[in-house]
Amino acid sequence: MIADAVTNVGGDLVEVTALMGPGVDPHLYKASAGDLTAMMAADVIFFNGLHLEGKLTEVLEQTEKKGIRTHAVTESIPPESFIRLEGAEDPHVWFDVILWMQVVMRTRDVLAEVDPTHGERYEENAAAYMEELIELNGYVRDQAERVPEGQRVLITAHDAFHYFGRAYGFEVRGLQGISTATEAGTADVKELSEFIATQKIPAIFVESSVPKRNIEAVRAAVKARGFEVEIGGELYSDAMGDPGTPEGTYIGMVRHNIDTIVKGLHGEGPSRDD
Ligand SMILES: [Zn+2]
């Protein structure tokens, strides 16, 4: 998502290397020797921060020591906008498109600081991209409203969707916490399956960067309680889809997610997609 923001703002003025590709879980990601070489050769390193890249801290300290500009994109968001869970700030800010727009604006400023001769170009690119993001935000809001209010409950493999829930009016529950580094226990499966069976939640969702077995276990536990919950489809939580597919961009990923959620939770009314 970060590489996509930098690419949109930088256009052909920057060469962007994304270290974490499709399906890669940033909570567990460790830099390979090749990744380290790429980082050491960079003009700027953008990362999410708020401990999303939990195993990258030492590497980032090294690159910073070497004098490479290192920028945590969540620094562009005012602290009062952060959701706090489990005593920590939730790092999954990209699911609130309005918050992500602040990341894009700050990306523009960082690129202009590093490469001031092209400041105007970065400004133009960012302005054009921001218009697309405003439209995207409206799309997500409109689609979310198709799910009747009482049915707006989103259950996924890990707690990645709280910003989404706050921005677009969904109650959100993840089987694992805000980091996948802690495994879900049997008590978590029991509690969540009880909730699903009692509330008769129609669908739960797997995530592209998290193994599916945990959500399958929840489904089986719900079935044992005499209720059938569907797997509503696959959401892109902490990684985008394959390059060259619509889901390989931030905008495409966000659209895919809301479309999948609305379908799984039996959204009503005609799709307002054009
Ligand atoms: Zn996550």
> Ligand 1 centre from 157 Cα, in Å?
9
> Ligand 1 centre from 17 Cα, in Å?
21
255 has pLDDT over 60: yes
> Ligand 1 centre from 217 Cα, in Å?
19
> Ligand 1 centre from 74 Cα, in Å?
14
> Ligand 1 centre from 53 Cα, in Å?
9
193 has pLDDT over 70: yes
Confidence of residue 274 (pLDDT cuts 50, 70, 90): very low
> Ligand 1 centre from 238 Cα, in Å?
5
Q: By mean pLDDT, which of 93-102, 117-126, 187-196 is the weakest?
A: 187-196
Contact 108, 133 (CB under 8 A): no
Tokens of 184: 């879900």
The pLDDT value recorded for residue 178 is 78
Report the alpha-carbon distance of residue 139 to residue 142 in Å, rounded. Answer: 5
Contact 100, 60 (CB under 8 A): no
The pLDDT value recorded for residue 187 is 86
Contact 107, 6 (CB under 8 A): yes
Q: Mean of the pLDDT values across residues 42-57?
A: 94
> Ligand 1 centre from 102 Cα, in Å?
20
> Ligand 1 centre from 35 Cα, in Å?
21
Secondary structure of 35-78 in HEC code, one letter for each residue: HHHHHHCCCEEEECCCCCCCCCHHHHHHHHHCCCEEEEHHHHCC
> Ligand 1 centre from 218 Cα, in Å?
19
Contact 12, 121 (CB under 8 A): no
> Ligand 1 centre from 67 Cα, in Å?
29
Confidence of residue 144 (pLDDT cuts 50, 70, 90): very high
> Ligand 1 centre from 179 Cα, in Å?
5
The pLDDT value recorded for residue 271 is 64
Confidence of residue 162 (pLDDT cuts 50, 70, 90): very high
